[in-house]
Structure 1
């Protein structure tokens, strides 16, 4: 998958949706190279499932590699309820994510909320921060 190249310094919602589609599709396919190509090297990550923040893409790649080595892969991932806010060369995407993963035949489905910050980096639209939160139960 190629990066999303943006000709101007002002993003559009459709460009952000295209970048998010590319990121979600690569994740859903457990396509390591395509997935991490969606992130700037300095991207940071906050996952409710991890005890500490991951301060760069390389830290997340090491964690991902450990998951894959344990037999983990993504079966499906669906993004819904997207809201995009564009701020010049930066955009914030929030959405709900339904993900099914499998580790050695054991399947788990999660429903989470996610915020991804995208920024133009040398003309390419890349994610520079991702924050994943547990989706609260209905009725709380």
Structure 2
């Protein structure tokens, strides 16, 4: 009986140490625009008139944050090519959201990326306002 208690006491902590840790979020400065990325035209108007909101299936969202420009990437990861960039303060039409690489900015972490069909690219949701959520966009 003492042997069993000893084994449980000794081996349980080792089993917990063997549990894989979640991958850490990447702290990324998406305001550094990659070579070859082109600007996407946005608007400075939210277009939130009552009739417009309910007939849209996509969502108009503003680019937020302290950066003047944010990369729009070919997939939901900073490891993918930035094919375009979007401008802080402008509004863009997003159609869905995807799980992707976690991005941390200013101590906040977000693993969702919003799809921008105008550029066939993804913007980390950490840079879009609270109109762009998985609930409002749905998954891609």
* Higher alpha-carbon Rg: 2
More strand by share: 1
How does the TM-score come out when normalised to structure 2? Answer: 0.26
Superposition TM-score, scaled by structure 1 size? 0.26
